[in-house]
Homo-oligomer: A and B are copies of this chain.
Amino acid sequence: MQTRRAILRAAAEAFDEYGYAGASINLILKRAGLTTGALYFHFDSKEDLAHAVMNAQPDLIVPRLQSQGLQRLVDITLLWSHMLQVDPLLRAAVRLTGEQASMGTRDATPYQSWVMIMSECLRDAQDANELQAGVSPDELGEFVTEACTGMQMFSAVASGRDDLSERTMRMWRLLLPGVAVPAIVARTEVSHDRLKLLVG
């Protein structure tokens, strides 16, 4: 598993910097300090490697969190907004997911994995009576996934993602009052202090 992870990291750094077309297999091997054989033992092709990078996203965020329900969903997005600034693997995953037209592929899995994770938090939130009547966990999970996708794109060109955590907090200020019951709107922590606590 260590070799596989080293290849993923090296590929992510190359994809993050040069995009899919610009990152050659040779460049990736050189960065990982590995032979062609080692790479093809773990991945069938550059495309296969790109899909593995794209689908590594949630594992980088979710295991670090303890909270439940809506607070957990808020925490996922806050931690994601920070990690995207510091982790090349997450950045490469996001870049490749958005540039699929250039790769000639159409893979909705990276989005759908986020929707599944978010919807699960929201079903817990629904069971704990945190959501307003009529709010569907699946619909809201899908919408938050979309909003995060667009936030990071705008933020990337506007500020090199420096303001992504700010944008994430603003999303929750606008969205929470329409989807959560008032007691939960009041109790849910969406702040820089919360983010500091999560980053640890």
Contact = CB atoms under 8 A, between A and B. Distances in A.
A50 B123 CA distance: 44
Contacts of A43: none
Nearest to A100: B157
Given A145-B150, A150-B146, A99 B100 contact: no
A17 B154 CA distance: 23
Interface residues of A, number: 42
The SS class assigned to the A binding surface is helix
Interface of A: 19, 21-22, 95, 98-102, 106-108, 111, 132, 135, 139-140, 142-143, 145-151, 153-154, 156-158, 160, 167, 170-171, 173-179
Contacts of A156: 101, 106
Contacts of A150: 145-151, 153
Contacts of A175: 174-175, 178
Given A108-B158, A149-B154, A174-B179, 20 more contacts: A95-B101, A98-B98, A99-B99, A100-B157, A106-B156, A107-B157, A111-B154, A142-B170, A143-B171, A145-B150, A145-B154, A146-B151, A146-B154, A146-B167, A146-B171, A147-B147, A153-B153, A177-B177, A177-B179, A178-B179
